Amino acid sequence: MASVTFSPDDRYNAFITTLSGAETGPGRLSGIPVAVKDNISTRGIPTTCASRILTGYIPPYDAHVVTLLKREGAAIVGKTNMDEFGMGTTTENSAFGPTLNPADPTRVPGGSSGGSAAAVASGMVRMALGTDTGGSIRCPAAFCGIVGLKPTYGRVSRYGLIAYANSLEQIGPMARNVEDVSLLMEVLTIHDPRDSTTIACPYRHTPDPTIRGLKIGVPEEFFGEGVDPRVASVVWEAITRLEAQGAEIVTCRMPSMAFALAAYYVTCTSEASSNLARFDGVRYGPQADTRRTWHESFQEQRREGFGTEVRRRIMLGTFALSSGYYGKYYAKAQAARQQVRNDFLRLFRTVDVIAGPTMPTVAFRLGEKTDPLSMYLSDVLTVPANLAGVPAISVPCGTSEGLPVGLQVMGQWFRDENVIDVAAACEQGVSS
């Protein structure tokens, strides 16, 4: 067992914890430095979720994906910064300060996997793990100009992932090119019986940019209100290049986009309210004031331990699940979620994949998005894939205002190989 020396010039605040002498062994990832998002459990290494409430927490076990990385010889060199508990689109909601975008340090890297994206984009690591609940891999991939894949829900084990919204989130690979994302995907898809939501569906595929005859659906709603015309233009150019490579472009409609974002935020905040109830600050985190009653201490611990955005989402979710409101909000959100899934089912009867912009704008400036609603609206193009559980990838397709623009490709359930191939074709088109 050898070790990899890792001394990053972390001017972008991409890491929360770094490991100077990361161990590496034989395997497909031997000697390759890999960063891991800090909501994925690592045995003996602090795992914070970028939150003060987990101060002092050191997991006694590895997440399944971390075990797989080690089995293939990867050198895990550090834990990356993120929006606290995965709640955000900028990586500004971190107890450890914001991460900066290597493409322009005055801009956000996207979130919530912004630290992983910045570590890859800056060249500090070749690959990284992120997590995606509503776009948290694809958003920073688009903003930082790298490749990021949200696999089909259930294809990668979530064992050891500190939960935010169980029915939506998925661990996935991030890298500077499609080939490395595909390689990391091969490593991650070994079945894990400890996660009952996963199925045995290993990924064994070499990216193939030959897409002649492939039908690509382009929903009109992905180029509607709120999408920067300059971003839309860059994405359409990329789609046109795919057409020139032999793909058939089919314009289509996805009416459920009108309520997908609302359905997502009711669902994810409700699940967050339930999942984060366990964090009481007693076993780790800020020291409790034992002179107070349990209720007073519990209230103070959570107020001091959680950041503003986490508290906001917990309260929203608690309200949506409360007596008298469950049917008005949560139940309706699940009905709307089914409509999103139905739209994908309908479209996939006539097209192989669906394409559009990953994000409606390029990376915004640090501190620019202070209104929560405007921040939530930034997720409008990424959340449908999580609601339906389909695979989705963001691949660089050009620039606008000198900043990266990502093309998002969504595919049919457990056909992650298709979105990888289209991303490879896009990558080839950009480089040629």
CATH number at residue 43: 3.90.1300.10
pLDDT recorded at residue 303: 84
Report residue 113: phi and psi, to 5°.
-90, 40
Coil, helix or strand at residue 53: helix
| Contact (CB, 8 A) for 130 and 174 | yes
pLDDT band for position 363 (50/70/90)? Answer: very high
- Average pLDDT, stretch 313-327? 91
Q: Which residue has the tokens 């972390």?
A: 10
pTM of the predicted model over 0.95:
yes
Q: What is the pLDDT of residues 45-93, one digit of tens each?
A: 999 999 999 999 999 999 999 999 999 999 999 999 999 999 999 999 9
C-alpha pair distances (Å), 247 with each of 85, 198, 213: 39, 32, 5
101: Cβ contacts below 8 Å, ≥ 6 apart:
12, 107, 108, 109, 110, 114, 118, 121, 143, 144, 363
Supply the range of the domain harboring residue 29.
Answer: 2-188
pLDDT recorded at residue 323: 81
* Structure token pair of residue 52: 């003060």
C-alpha span between 72 and 74 (Å, rounded): 6
C-alpha span between 367 and 152 (Å, rounded): 33
141 within some domain: yes
pLDDT recorded at residue 283: 73
Q: Which residue has the tokens 């400890």?
A: 194
82 within some domain: yes
C-alpha pair distances (Å), 120 with each of 193, 295, 325, 341: 31, 43, 43, 32
| Contact (CB, 8 A) for 381 and 145 | no
Report strand pairing: 248-252 vs 392-400.
unpaired
Q: Which of 188-192, 310-314, 320-324, 398-402 has the lowest mean pLDDT?
A: 320-324
Q: Is the peptide bond before 94 cis (omega within 30 degrees of 0)?
A: no
Number of domains in the chain: 1
125 within some domain: yes
297 within some domain: no
- Average pLDDT, stretch 354-368? 97
164 within some domain: yes
373 within some domain: no
pLDDT recorded at residue 290: 66
pLDDT at residue 3 greater than cutoff 90 = no
pLDDT band for position 281 (50/70/90)? Answer: confident
Active-site residue list: 37, 112, 136
C-alpha span between 392 and 151 (Å, rounded): 7
- Average pLDDT, stretch 82-109? 98
pLDDT at residue 10 greater than cutoff 90 = no
83 within some domain: yes
Distance of CA 5 to the CA centre of its chain: 28
178 within some domain: yes
Q: What is the pLDDT of residues 195-238, one digit of tens each?
A: 999 999 999 999 999 999 999 999 999 999 999 999 999 999 99
| Contact (CB, 8 A) for 115 and 14 | yes
